[in-house]
């Protein structure tokens, strides 16, 4: 949902526009559409996506892998109205999960409103705290927004940064925000960091096997958003979600340098 420029509500401005993705709206939309057009959805499981795991690096590195997940949403753009976003807090150390106090997040493509009712419900349940600093410079959620703005029609977001939190705590938050067919859960995570291309291939293949087996014991060394993934996997087991790999590569595949790479994976989870 776009809001007029004279809207006086509190807005979290973009922190990594021009760094992780283009700061110009036309260029940004062009690039996102290019990643979405990278190929047909590689999926064998029919049905509406309920949750996605997507990477969050600069678009030149992880954009092609993220596009493999987001293009699945095009057929469901008229249905999905709420996106629960879960990403690691890279810059601010927090305990548990934190929501922002602002009314919307902005990107060069416009403003996306916060699901205020969903936020207040999680707070009333005592499941999350409020921390604007944990969101102010955080890229793990921001880089997802332009993709969502391009593929979805009219939606709001419930952004959650995760700090020191056990899988069960994250799972409780996901369960409380689960919603119905109009709600998508999105976990933002890269995979291994700063290994050679061949080492990363082996490490990330093991991470993918763990995700496909719906294990909830991934260490941070295998995924920077391991807490979010582990919580989602607990929910996936309880709700018997089907998990499918959409794309798994690393920055040596997408950006060229194979001496020190970061791994990326996109996965979709569907309800039986």
| Residue 31: domain span | 11-270
The full length of the chain comes to: 272
For residues 54 and 69, the answer to whether their CB atoms sit within 8 Å is: yes
Residue 153 lies in a domain: yes
Q: Taking the CA atoms of 19, 23, 27 and 33 in sequence, report the sign of the dihedral they define.
A: positive
Distances (CA, A) of 226 to 86, 182, 190, 193, 242: 11, 26, 9, 13, 19
Neighbours of 237 (CB within 10 A): 14
- Per the listing, tokens 């993220």 go with 66
pTM for the full predicted model = 0.94
Closest CA to 183 of 20, 26, 42, 50: 50
Residue 107 lies in a domain: yes
Q: pLDDT tens track of the chain, all 272 residues?
A: 444 444 557 999 999 999 999 999 999 999 999 999 976 556 666 789 999 999 999 999 999 999 999 999 999 999 999 999 999 999 999 999 999 999 999 999 999 999 999 999 999 999 999 999 999 999 999 999 999 999 999 999 999 999 999 999 999 999 999 999 999 999 999 999 999 999 999 999 999 999 999 999 999 999 999 999 999 999 999 999 999 999 999 999 999 899 999 999 999 999 97
The Cα 160–Cα 128 span in angstroms is 8
For residues 152 and 80, the answer to whether their CB atoms sit within 8 Å is: yes
Residue 4 lies in a domain: no
The Cα 209–Cα 246 span in angstroms is 13
Which stretches of the chain are DSSP H helices? 25-36, 59-70, 116-124, 133-136, 139-142, 145-151, 167-176, 197-212, 226-239, 251-254
Q: Taking the CA atoms of 255, 257, 263 and 267 in sequence, report the sign of the dihedral they define.
A: positive
Residue 178 lies in a domain: yes
Q: What is the CATH number of the domain that holds 115?
A: 3.40.830.10
Residue 3 lies in a domain: no
| DSSP 3-state of 129 | strand
How many domains, in total, are found in the chain? 1
Residue 121 lies in a domain: yes
Burial of 9 (0-12, 13-18, 19+ CB in 10 A): exposed
For residues 269 and 236, the answer to whether their CB atoms sit within 8 Å is: yes
Residue 219 lies in a domain: yes
Residue 240 lies in a domain: yes
């Amino acid at each position: 949902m776009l809001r007029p420029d004279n809207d006086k509500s509190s807005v979290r401005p973009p922190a990594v526009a021009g760094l992780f993705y283009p700061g110009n709206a036309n260029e940004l939309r062009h690039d996102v559409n290019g990643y979405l057009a990278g190929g047909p959805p590689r999926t064998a499981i029919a049905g509406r996506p309920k949750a996605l795991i997507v990477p969050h690096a600069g678009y030149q590195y992880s954009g092609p892998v993220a596009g493999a997940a987001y293009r699945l949403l095009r057929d469901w753009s008229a249905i999905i109205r709420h996106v629960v976003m879960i990403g690691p807090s890279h810059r601010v150390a927090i305990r548990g999960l934190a929501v922002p106090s602002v009314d919307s997040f902005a990107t060069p493509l416009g403003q996306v409103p916060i699901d205020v009712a969903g936020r207040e419900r999680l707070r009333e349940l005592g499941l999350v705290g409020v921390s604007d600093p944990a969101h102010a410079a955080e890229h793990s959620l921001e880089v997802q927004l332009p993709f969502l703005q391009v593929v979805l029609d009219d939606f709001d977001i419930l952004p959650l940064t995760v700090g020191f939190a056990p899988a069960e705590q994250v799972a409780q938050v996901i369960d409380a925000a689960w919603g119905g067919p109009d709600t998508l859960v999105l976990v933002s995570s890269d995979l291994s960091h700063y290994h050679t291309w061949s080492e990363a291939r082996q490490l990330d293949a093991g991470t993918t096997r763990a995700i496909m087996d719906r294990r909830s014991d991934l260490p941070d060394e295998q995924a920077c958003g391991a807490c979010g993934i582990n919580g989602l996997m607990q929910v996936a087991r309880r709700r018997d979600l089907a998990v499918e790999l959409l794309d798994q590569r690393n920055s040596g595949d997408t950006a060229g340098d194979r001496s020190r790479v970061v791994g990326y994976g996109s996965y979709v989870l569907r309800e039986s």
